[in-house]
């Protein structure tokens, strides 16, 4: 619509509506752009067709009213609140009925610590409820990994610090380095994909995810849900060495172990060779002492057994002699000679030993054996 003025002599005068319409038409020719600021005076009601808020510049307090269609705002699924820093994409316009300059918002992205922390906290609660951070899921790191996977960026510091520390502690360790994006919008997908590939490489027993320090925004990819789930799903133990001691990205909670720095991560994944050798020397000394002690006990036992064996024939002979003496004594006690020695005699006839008078008649000759010697006799009479 053409903006027309009323002539008062040589003076051109515009009505308020004409002026606003002209300014609005001129503003409509300006390009759409991004504006950064802090959200204040957020107003939204269920029945309203638009959402209203003000962007405030934190440096000098300048303000810019923003209006956004309710359907556009709801489709963004952002949990917006006063105090959040945002980037708003839109075009400048004039609300002609009130002469209010404003930004017509077409899109919005949360920015800054407040919104990011809130988003991370919500994700943290959701993943914790799934059990991704549970202590019982943590796996023990291998004592001597066959091969170590290192996921890092192309920055020199984190990679150099880790490799230097590993080489100093255990020179024989093998490390496979995989460099990828660790910052910016491409980083979450790149980290998740690289971690999956790296953990599948032959003989990889542990993976270290390392990134040097940076701002809160720099470390945001390591709290991305894709990265956290990739760490939790990794088939081998994962050590998270992201940022500094005070930084706690969500991947730290899903990892099997956390290290404050890449150098500290090296101390976790490889032993100190010097300490290992010293330990082996101590074990070797203990084993030698134990072996000598066992050998000495065996030697003493063998000597005692030899002494017993040397004494065995004499002891056996003594036992046999005692047994024979006993038998001889019993035989002597049962011998007829012993009976004769006690004063008895043995009488024999031609038919043998005389045991009954019925087998001999008076006048018969008999032979009498005594304890010492013998004699011949004639039977004078017999008595029943």
The CATH number for 190's domain is: 3.40.50.10550
Task: Tell whether 236 and 191 lie within a shared domain.
Answer: yes
In a domain, 312, yes or no: no
Q: Which residues pair with 102 in a beta bridge?
A: 93
Task: Tell whether 244 and 345 lie within a shared domain.
Answer: no
In a domain, 295, yes or no: no
Q: What is the pLDDT of residue 162?
A: 95
Instruction: Provide the domain limits for residue 195.
Output: 148-274
**CA dist., res. 377 & res. 364, Å (int):** 8
Task: Tell whether 87 and 171 lie within a shared domain.
Answer: no
Task: Tell whether 84 and 154 lie within a shared domain.
Answer: no
The number of domains in the chain is 3
Which of 111, 129, 160 is where one domain is finished? 111
C-alpha separations of 170 from 48, 138, 141, 274, 281 in Å: 67, 25, 16, 9, 17
Contact between 41 and 82 (Cβ < 8 Å): yes
The reply to whether the predicted model has a pTM over 0.75 is: no
Task: Tell whether 263 and 168 lie within a shared domain.
Answer: yes
| pLDDT single digits (tens) 213-258 | 777 778 889 999 999 999 999 999 999 999 877 778 999 999 999 9
Which residues contact residue 277 at a Cβ distance below 8 angstroms, ignoring those fewer than 6 apart?
Answer: none
Residue-level pLDDT, tens digit, the chain, 384 residues: 677 778 888 898 888 888 888 888 888 888 899 998 889 999 988 889 999 999 998 778 889 999 999 999 988 877 788 877 889 999 999 888 888 899 999 998 877 666 677 778 889 999 999 999 999 999 999 999 999 999 999 877 899 999 999 999 999 999 999 999 998 778 999 999 999 999 999 999 999 999 987 777 788 899 999 999 999 999 999 999 998 777 789 999 999 999 999 999 999 999 998 888 887 888 888 888 888 888 888 888 888 878 777 777 777 777 878 887 777 777 766 666 666 666 677 778 888 887 777 888 888 887 877 777 888 888 788 887
Task: Tell whether 187 and 259 lie within a shared domain.
Answer: yes
CATH of the domain at 103: 2.40.50.140
In a domain, 56, yes or no: yes
| pLDDT single digits (tens) 16-69 | 888 888 888 888 888 899 998 889 999 988 889 999 999 998 778 889 999 999
Task: Tell whether 158 and 219 lie within a shared domain.
Answer: yes
Among residues 112, 139, 40, the alpha carbon closest in space to that of 82 is found at 40
Which of 228, 249, 274 is where one domain is finished? 274
Q: Which residues pair with 374 in a beta bridge?
A: 369
């Amino acid at each position: 619509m053409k903006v027309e003025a009323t002539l008062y002599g040589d003076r051109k005068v515009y009505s308020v509506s004409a002026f606003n319409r002209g300014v609005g038409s001129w503003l409509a020719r300006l390009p759409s752009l991004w504006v950064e600021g802090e959200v204040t005076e957020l107003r939204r009601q269920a029945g309203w067709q638009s959402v209203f808020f003000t962007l405030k510049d934190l440096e000098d307090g300048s303000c810019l009213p923003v209006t956004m269609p309710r359907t556009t705002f709801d489709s963004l699924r952002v949990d917006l609140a006063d105090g959040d820093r945002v980037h708003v994409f839109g075009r400048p316009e004039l609300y002609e009925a009130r002469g209010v300059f404003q930004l017509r918002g077409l899109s919005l992205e949360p920015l800054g610590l407040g919104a990011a922390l809130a988003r991370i906290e919500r994700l943290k609660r959701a993943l914790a409820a799934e059990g991704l951070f549970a202590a019982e899921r943590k796996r023990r790191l291998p004592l001597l990994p066959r091969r170590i996977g290192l996921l890092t960026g192309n920055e020199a510091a984190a990679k150099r610090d880790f490799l230097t520390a590993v080489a100093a502690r255990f020179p024989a360790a093998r490390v496979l380095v995989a460099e990828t994006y660790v910052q910016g919008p491409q980083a979450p997908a790149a980290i998740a994909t690289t971690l999956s590939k790296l953990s599948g490489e032959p003989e990889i027993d542990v993976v270290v995810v390392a990134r040097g320090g940076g701002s809160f925004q720099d470390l945001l990819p390591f709290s991305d849900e894709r990265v956290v789930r990739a760490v939790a799903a990794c088939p081998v133990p994962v050590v998270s060495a992201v940022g500094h001691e005070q930084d706690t990205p969500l991947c730290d909670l899903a990892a099997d172990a956390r290290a404050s720095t890449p150098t500290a991560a090296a101390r976790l994944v490889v032993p100190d060779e010097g300490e290992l050798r010293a330990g082996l020397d101590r074990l070797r000394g203990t084993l030698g002492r134990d072996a000598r002690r066992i050998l000495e006990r065996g030697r003493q036992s063998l000597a005692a057994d030899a002494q017993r064996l040397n004494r065995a024939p004499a002891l056996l002979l003594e036992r046999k002699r005692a047994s024979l003496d006993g038998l001889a004594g019993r035989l002597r006690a049962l011998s007829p000679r012993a009976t004769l020695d006690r004063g008895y005699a043995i009488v024999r006839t031609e038919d043998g030993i005389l045991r009954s008078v019925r087998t001999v008649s008076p006048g018969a000759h008999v032979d009498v054996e005594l304890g010492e010697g013998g004699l011949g006799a004639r039977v004078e009479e017999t008595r029943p």
